[in-house]
């Protein structure tokens, strides 16, 4: 799985575009407008979203939980303490009938405590102290035995060389990190949506203001045409045409108001406010900056959903390894060694510790354990199934890497294209503004037709709205690029 990470890193580093420096450059320039105490900047709005949006808070907490859970992978390879205590009172009849071998009960107690640890190379170890006592009530003496003991188990086939230990550790850690990165990505999506909502509302506000000015121009044309018709200087059809134009502008303005109300509700909802009213003002966007800014380059960073996909591939590989190892034949080498110390109960076990080193009675044992499944066909199918899932996860990760790189290239390309279109839209807007103004002046001097001035004014309004659309596209792309931070 190390190859997955190295492949990802090598492929990502080669791709270059606009990201962190670009975003900070945009953010810094959006403060150019006069900002009073009621103006809400994008950064201030996103801070409100971070504090109040339950979805964002839940994703952040889940991501932190996954990061903390990832430390669980260390537990399987660190020492652990264990302790057992057993007491027994057996009053059954003796199975051996010997003269004088009469006792009323057999009292035993056993205390075992120590440490065990699984090492990364597969060795399973236990180091512990075993203390037990045997008392035949009615007979003497009472024996106490102390045994310091060490057990070593090394798997030679199934789980050999630490494959099971490492795979189990990797599985736990990868699953936790996959959750961490996936929830982190979801939290960034919440912020991305909120930032886009901010720009939508800012653009919708400007659109409303443009529609309002367009309606005022249409109203002026309608009143001017009526005054000329009242003086018999123009035909009544000019009145109808300008009134129709004014009516259509009123409808467009009402549509802009309705859209603004809906976007405001979505805007407030992201910060957990249920309202269609906005108490703050938003910053004004300079279209010339968006179209003319020279943006530096920065390296593409790995997106969190790609990190999650990588960890899912690691988990699938670890799971396949565990399955393959569990179905292999078991062949374990077991070694045990211990010392023995005993007393007769007269000194409450103190002499047992002395006897431990004086009696010179060390003991040891060695054994080999073997077992194997008999249904070899089922074992082969199981291993093959997990192997296919592992390969599928690697393929999915490779595809995710490709899609992420393509998304990056697509967004940076679209950003450059949108900037160029905005520049053209600005030029068109300036031309349409001059054309409409000139035609209105001619209309007041009765040197043009009503349909001409109405058409030119409509062209100017369309150019303004198109420019706003280009601005929103650029700002939305910038918000999407933040997913790569």
- Rounded to whole angstroms, the Cα distance separating 350 from 357 reads 13
pLDDT for 117 beyond 70: yes
144 CB contacts (<8 Å, ≥6 apart)? 131, 132, 133, 342, 343, 345, 349, 352
102 or 246: which leads in pLDDT: 246
- Give yes or no: residues 260 and 134 share one domain: no
Whether the per-residue pLDDT at 26 is higher than 90: the answer is no
pLDDT of residue 449: 79
Is the domain of 110 the same as that of 34? Answer: no
* Residue 188 and residue 284 in one domain: yes
Pairing of strands 143-155, 80-90: unpaired
In a domain, 376, yes or no: no
Q: Is residue 185 assigned to a domain?
A: yes
Burial degree of 192 (CB within 10 A; 0-12, 13-18, 19+)? middle
pTM of structure:
0.76
Number of domains in the chain: 2
Same domain, 283 and 335: no
Residue 429 falls within a domain, yes or no?
A: yes
Contact between residue 110 and residue 130 where contact means Cβ atoms under 8 Å apart: yes
Question: What is the average pLDDT across 311-340?
Answer: 88
- Same structural domain for residues 185 and 307? yes
DSSP annotation of 73 reads: G
What value does the mean pLDDT of the chain take? 83
Residue 345 belongs to what domain range?
Answer: 90-118+123-158+330-371
Check which CATH number belongs to the domain holding 415 and give it: 1.20.1600.10
Q: Indicate if 277 and 176 belong to the same structural domain.
A: yes
pLDDT band at 348; cut points 50, 70, 90: low
376-407: pLDDT as tens digits: 788 888 888 888 888 888 898 899 889 888 88
Of 276, 192, 251, 238, give the one whose Cα is nearest residue 477. 192
Residues 6+ apart with CB under 8 A from 55: 186, 190
One domain for residues 265 and 208: yes
173 and 154 housed in the same domain: no
Q: Are residues 111 and 241 in the same domain?
A: no
pLDDT(13) > 90 = no
Among 470, 472, 420, 419, residue whose Cα is nearest residue 205: 472
pLDDT at 12 over 50: no
Least confident of 277-281, 291-295, 321-325, 428-432: 291-295
Top mean pLDDT of 104-113, 231-240, 265-274 is at 265-274
State residue 268's pLDDT score.
94
Tell me the per-residue pLDDT of 445-462, one tens digit each, with 9 for 90 and over. Answer: 878 778 888 889 899 999
């Amino acid at each position: 799985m190390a190859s997955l990470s190295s492949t990802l890193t090598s492929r990502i580093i080669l791709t270059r575009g606009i990201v962190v420096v670009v975003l900070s450059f945009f953010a810094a320039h959006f403060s150019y407008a006069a900002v009073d105490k009621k103006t809400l900047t994008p950064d201030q709005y996103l801070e409100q979203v971070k504090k109040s949006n339950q979805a964002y808070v839940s994703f952040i907490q889940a991501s932190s939980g996954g990061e903390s859970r990832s430390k669980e992978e260390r537990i399987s390879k660190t020492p652990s303490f264990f302790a057992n205590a057993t007491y027994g009172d057996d009053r059954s009849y003796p199975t051996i009938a010997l003269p004088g071998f009469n006792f009323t009960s057999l009292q035993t107690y056993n205390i075992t405590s120590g440490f065990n640890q699984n090492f990364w190379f597969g060795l399973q170890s236990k180091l512990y102290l075993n203390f037990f006592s045997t008392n035949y009530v009615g007979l003497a003496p009472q024996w106490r035995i102390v045994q310091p003991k060490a057990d070593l188990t090394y798997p030679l086939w199934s789980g050999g060389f630490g494959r099971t230990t490492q795979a189990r550790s990797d599985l736990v850690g990868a699953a936790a990190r996959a959750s961490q990165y996936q929830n982190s990505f979801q939290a960034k999506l919440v912020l991305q949506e909120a930032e886009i909502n901010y720009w939508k509302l800012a653009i919708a506000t400007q659109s409303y203001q443009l529609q309002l000015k367009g309606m005022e121009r249409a109203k002026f044309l309608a009143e001017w045409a009526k005054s000329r018709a009242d003086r018999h200087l123009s035909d009544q059809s000019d009145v109808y045409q300008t009134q129709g134009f004014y009516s259509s502008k009123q409808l467009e303005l009402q549509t802009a108001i309705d859209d603004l109300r809906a976007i405001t509700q979505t805007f407030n909802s992201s910060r957990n406010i249920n309202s269609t009213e906005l108490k703050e003002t938003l910053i004004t966007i300079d279209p010339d900056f968006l179209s003319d800014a020279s943006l530096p380059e920065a390296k593409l960073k790995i997106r969190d959903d790609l990190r999650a996909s990588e960890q899912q591939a690691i988990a699938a590989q670890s799971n396949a390894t565990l399955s393959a190892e569990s179905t292999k034949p078991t062949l374990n080498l077991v070694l045990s060694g211990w010392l023995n110390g005993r007393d007769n109960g007269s000194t409450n076990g103190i002499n047992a510790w002395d006897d431990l080193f004086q009696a010179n009675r060390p003991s040891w044992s060695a054994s080999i354990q073997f077992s194997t499944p008999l249904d070899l066909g089922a074992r082969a199918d199981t291993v093959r199934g997990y192997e296919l899932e592992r390969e599928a996860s690697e393929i999915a990760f490779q595809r995710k890497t490709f899609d992420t790189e393509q998304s990056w290239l697509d967004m940076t390309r679209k950003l450059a294209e949108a900037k160029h279109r905005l520049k053209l839209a600005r030029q068109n807007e300036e031309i349409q503004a001059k054309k409409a103004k000139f035609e209105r002046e001619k209309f007041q001097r009765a040197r043009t037709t009503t349909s001409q001035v109405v058409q030119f004014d409509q062209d100017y309004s369309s150019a303004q709205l198109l420019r706003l659309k280009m601005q929103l596209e650029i700002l939305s792309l910038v918000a999407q690029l933040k997913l790569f931070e």
